[in-house]
Amino acid sequence: MTAVRTEAPVSAAPRRLPGAGRLKVTDPVVGVWLAAAAVTLIGWIVVTIDGGQFMTQSNFTGILQNSVALGLVAVGQSAVILTGSLDLSVAYLISLGTLVAAETMEGGSVVTAVLAVLALSAAVGLANGLIVTGLKVNAFIATLGMAFILRGYIEDNYTGPAGDVPASFQRLGYDRIGFIPISVFLLIAVAAVLWLITKRTRLGHHMYATGGDEHAARLSGVRTRRTVIYAHVLCALCVGAAALFLASRLGAGAPWAGTEARYDLDSIAAVVLGGTALAGGRGGVAGTLGGVLLLSVLDSIFNQLSVDPFFKNVVRGVVIIAAVALYARPFRRRAKARDEARAKEKGALA
Amino acid sequence: MTTTTPSATTTVFAGVGRRLGTGAPVYVLLAVLLAALAITDPGFYEPDSFLAFIKRAAPLVILAAGQYMVIVSGGFDLSVGAVVTAGVVAGAEFYGSYPDAPWLLVTAGLLLAGAIVGLVNGLISTVLLVPSFITTLGMMLILEGAVFYWTGGSPQGVLPESFRSFGRGEAGGWLPWAVLACLAVGAIAVWLMRSDFGRTLLATGDNERAAALAGVRVPRVRTLAFVLSGTAAALAAVLVAGFSGVSAQAGRGLEFEAITAVVLGGVILGGGRGSVVAAMAGAFSLQALFTLLNLQGVSGALESTVQGFIVIAAVGLGAADFSRLRRRRSQPSEGKSSS
């Protein structure tokens, strides 16, 4: 059972060959990248009609730059969601991460700061994982509670920006090679590691199995609790990386670094846009990156057209619902057909 | 649980026993919090201040009742906070254009608008098969964006006294309207959950496929749950508008508070289990916790930390208690049912 689920994304590819053209588009991962491309194209046309220039180097740099923070968080979030969990504490963890990074860098070395942020993140992720698996608190409530805890700590100790990031570390946020910001390589590296873990290691297979059917996974010998804990720690580490990036971008720690951009809900939206099932067990990092790109291309188009920032939210909401609706349909229909076939089989056996 | 007998009643009867089991911890929590409040503030049980407490709790309790409907059917409604904000702002803008509109008409209009928002949420979730988490998240973005876009960031307009009295006035000079609204919503919710609709709602949340095979019109039932939640949110908006006036922050975070309250009440996220009374008790507990933290002088900032710890601990304890109780019950003989 679990093996089937785990292999599904890989082994399904050859089977799809006959009708590749049609089926490929309905595959959410392909779908979201196509959607991102389509949105880029439409944006190009619309912005050009509006009299602006969309296909410029600086605009591309901006889009990539804007994808990094959300991308890092969303990649981590997809690991948790794949496992059938959820992390709502990411926004406050980012804020706290930037503060810890900037304050440690002010007094000590960059290396200490990086280690401190990653240790803090790992601890929060571990706590999340232990609460979810040990206390059996639903992930939604557990991580929401963790968000409250972090928020209280931040609001009690910080009233405004704190700490100072040295120029050497700010290069992470501002330097670029050609027109590609070097922070994009950080995102690519983190995403590649997560992709390798989820698709190529035992832990990753266990994550898919746990998310697909926790009970079946446990019966098949997967240590599901441990898997969920690892997923939460992985997610928190990605969030720590995002916090480091934002600290280098802002030049200081900010209590609102994570909450103002709503990284908690936005990252979940990006993950789901990328075709990962909220219930877990299906999807992956590649789709998530597509979702992130889609969101930041949209943002860039709105900026170019100088759309009212509040109206942007309206369109964002519509796009998220519409995109998920688009590929939820054929996907669910196929699942339903499969369920029905299975039910028939059972009926025939009985 | 997953019987394929055509009647859904078996599922529901099994659910009744379980509902007491999952709901029990919240009553203990509420009792503890109320006792702590009595010790901290001896005047708390003076009729006036106790009614004031219920009045303050009313919007959250009503939201929790609506949220319960959606959660027990297996969904989420993240849009209720935005509905509250939108309701408050829309009311103010409406009165800005028509200062003489009768309050009953405006309230009815807001309730209808809330129901429509819920209907849209429900239809998108059931017809377009978008997970309700995403549907209502999108709806939240849309409503918040629309409200801010419409008002340019700072809503204006004054709500007349007649409209606001529902949220802050008293009926007959001593009983706040909000308390009456709270009781009415509670009665309606209990009645609904005992009706055919409530039973099918529970069955749907427990096992959608089994319910569908048993003849439940799953999409209709789930859509209705969203409509109820939207309407409840609009009612909460009317109360909030009366109580604290016009603000673009009126409903911020309320969706999470409502979900927390419902889960505190022992309702299982994912559906099929839990009672609406326990969910509303969860909302009271949350409000009692806020009040207690205020009285204890916990600084405003640390308040959310304490809240986070207590919510996690309460839900964790609830989960632990429940499983231990069940084990004890099933191992020796069939003991008496828990309180």
Confidence of residue A316 (pLDDT cuts 50, 70, 90): confident
For residues A269 and A317, what is the distance between their CA atoms, to the nearest angstrom?
A: 10
Count other Cβ atoms within 10 Å, centred on residue B98: 10
Q: How far apart are CA B167 and CA A341, in angstroms?
A: 55
- A176 forms beta bridges with A181
The per-residue pLDDT for B161 is 78
- Rounded Cα gap, residues B264 and B313, in angstroms: 10
What share of chain B has pLDDT > 90, as a percent?
Answer: 34
Beta strands, E only, chain A: 176-177, 180-181
| Closest in B138, B299, B315 to A320, CB measured | B138
Q: Which of A216-225, B46-55, B302-311, B317-326 has the lowest mean pLDDT?
A: B317-326
Partners of A268 on chain B (C-beta within 8 Å) are 133, 137
The owner of tokens 């670029």 is A176
Query: Could you give the CA distance from residue B304 to residue B290 in angstroms, rounded to a whole number?
Result: 9
Q: Can you tell me the ipTM of this complex?
A: 0.80
Which of A152, A312, A317 lies closest to B308 in CB terms?
A152
Answer whether 0.80 is exceeded by the pTM.
yes
Q: What kind and span of H or E run contains B171?
A: strand B170-171
Calpha distance A264→A259 (Å, rounded):
8
Give Cα B214 to chain centroid, integer Å: 28
Give the Cα separation of A164 and B333 in Å (integer). 66
Which residue, among B252, B304, B310, would best test binding to A if mutated, counting the most A CBs under 10 Å from its CB?
B304
Supply B147's token pair. 């409200």
Q: Is A316 close to B141, i.e. CB distance below 8 A?
A: yes
Pick B1 or B29 by higher pLDDT.
B29
Q: The tokens 């950080």 sit on which residue?
A: A186
**What is each CA distance from B186 to B3, B64, B180, in whole angstroms?**
31, 10, 10
List the single residue in A with minimal CA-CA distance to B255. A144
| A106-124 b/e (C-beta count within 10 Å ≥ 16 → b) | eeeebeebbebbbebbbeb
Q: Which pair of tokens denotes residue B241?
A: 């508008």
Span B105-110, average pLDDT: 90
Query: Looking at per-residue confidence, does B73 or A18 come out higher?
Result: B73
Pairing of strands A176-177, B170-171: unpaired
Percent of chain A with pLDDT over 70: 86
Bridge partners of A181?
A176
CA B117, A306, B124 angle in degrees (round to 5)?
Answer: 20
pLDDT at B128 over 60: yes
**Which residues on A lie below 8 Å from B259 (Cβ)?**
140-141, 144
Between B324 and A335, the higher pLDDT residue: A335
So what's the pLDDT on residue B267? Answer: 85
Contact (CB, 8 A) for A181 and A271: no
- Report yes or no: A153 at the B interface, CB cutoff 8 Å: yes
- Residue A6, pLDDT > 80, answer no
Residue B324 has pLDDT above 70, yes or no: no
CB–CB of A328 and B308 under 8 A?
A: no
Q: What is the pLDDT of residue A348?
A: 46
A234-238, A324-328, B188-192: range with lowest mean pLDDT: A324-328
Residue, of A249 and A107, whose pLDDT is higher: A249
Tokens representing B35?
């006792």
Neighbours of A35 (CB within 10 A): 23
Asked whether A332 and B129 are in contact (CB, 8 A), the reply is yes
Using CB atoms, pick whichever of A144, A314, A328 lies closest to residue B129.
Answer: A328
Instruction: Kindly give the interhelix angle for A285-304 and A309-349, rounded to the nearest 10 degrees.
Output: 150
- Residue B1's pLDDT band (boundaries 50, 70, 90)? very low
What domains does chain B contain, in order, with CATH numbers?
15-322 (1.10.3470)
Q: Of B134, B319, B323, which is closest to A321 when you measure between CB atoms?
A: B134
Mean residue pLDDT of chain A comes to 85
Residue B332 DSSP SS3: coil
Which residue in chain A has the smallest CA separation from B131? A278
Lowest mean pLDDT among B70-74, B83-87, B122-126, B160-164: B160-164
For B304, which of A151, A279, A321 is closest by C-beta distance?
A: A151
Residue B315: per-residue pLDDT: 82
What confidence score (pLDDT) does residue A188 get? Answer: 95
Please answer yes or no on whether B302 and A156 come within 8 Å at the CB atom: yes
**Average pLDDT of the segment spanning A282-302:** 91
Q: Which residues pair with B176 in a beta bridge?
A: B170
- For residue A90, the model assigns a pLDDT of 96
Interface membership of A138 toward B (CB under 8 Å) = yes
Tell me the C-alpha distance between B73 and A325, whole Å. Answer: 20
Question: Which pLDDT tens digit goes with each residue over B214-252?
Answer: 988 999 999 999 999 999 999 999 998 888 878 877 888
Distance of CA B36 to the CA centre of its chain: 24
In the block, which residue shows the tokens 């039910």? A343
Residue A19 pLDDT exceeds 50: no
At residue A329, the pLDDT reads: 62
The residue among B318 and B99 whose pLDDT is bigger is B99
For residue A259, name the pLDDT band (cuts at 50, 70, 90): confident
Contact A320 B141 (CB under 8 A): yes
Highest mean pLDDT among A3-12, A44-53, B68-77: B68-77
Question: Cα dist. A180→A107, A269, A291, A337 in Å?
Answer: 31, 25, 19, 45
For residue A248, the distance in angstroms to the closest alpha carbon of chain B comes to 27
pLDDT at B5: 44
* A25 against A171, higher pLDDT: A171
pLDDT at position B248 is 78
A312 to chain B: which residues are within 8 Å by CB? 145
Q: Which domains does chain A have, with CATH numbers?
A: 2-349 (1.10.3470)
pLDDT value of position A338: 55
Residues in chain B with CB shorter than 8 Å from the CB of A148 are: 304-305, 307-308, 311
- Residue A78: in which H helix or E strand, if any? helix A57-82
Which positions in chain B touch A151 (Cβ < 8 Å)?
304-305, 308
For residues B17 and B182, the model is more confident at B182
pLDDT at A344 over 60: no
- To the nearest whole Å, the CA of A57 is away from the closest chain B CA by 30
Mean pLDDT of B290-308: 81
Inter-chain residue contact B304 with A332, CB threshold 8 Å: no
CB contact under 8 A, B153 and A153: no
Q: d(Cα B187, Cα B201) in Å, to the nearest integer? A: 17
Intra-chain end-to-end CA distance of chain B, in Å? 23
Q: How far is B8 from chain A (nearest CA, A)?
A: 20
Mean pLDDT, chain B, rounded, equals 82
pLDDT at B3: 43
pLDDT of residue B320: 65
Range name among A71-75, A114-118, B315-319 with the lowest pLDDT average = B315-319
DSSP SS3 for A176: strand
**Chain B: closest CA distance from residue A250 (Å):** 24
- Residue B143's pLDDT is what? 92
Under the phi-then-psi rule, with left for phi > 0, alpha for psi from -120 to 50, and beta for the rest, what region is A176? beta
Longest dimension (CA), chain B: 69
Q: How confident is the model over A248-257, as a mean pLDDT?
A: 91
Q: Distance (Å, rounded) from C-alpha A175 to C-alpha A240? A: 20
- Given a cut of 90, is residue B2 above it in pLDDT? no
Predicted local confidence at residue B135, as pLDDT: 92
pLDDT at site A350:
41
Q: Is the pLDDT of residue B93 over 90?
A: no
- Cα separation of B64 and B68, whole Å? 6
Instruction: Indicate which of A88, A151, A310, A339 best probes the interface with B, i.e. most B CBs within 10 Å of its own CB.
Output: A310
Using a CB-CB distance cutoff of 8 angstroms, which residues of chain A are in contact with residue B128?
Answer: 321, 325, 328-329
Angle (nearest 5°) at CA A298 between A297 and A302: 115
DSSP state of B247: -
Q: What is the helix (H) or strand (E) element at residue B170, kind and residue range?
A: strand B170-171
Helices (H), A158-213: 167-174, 182-200, 202-212
Residues in B touching A26 (Cβ below 8 Å): none
Contact B166, B103 (CB under 8 A): yes
What is the pLDDT at residue A221?
92
A147: distance to nearest CA of chain B, Å? 7
Of A21-25, B115-119, B123-127, B238-242, which range is least confident?
A21-25
For residue B274, pLDDT over 70 is answered with: yes
Nearest CA distance, B311 vs chain A (angstrom): 6
> For position B317, what pLDDT does the model report?
78
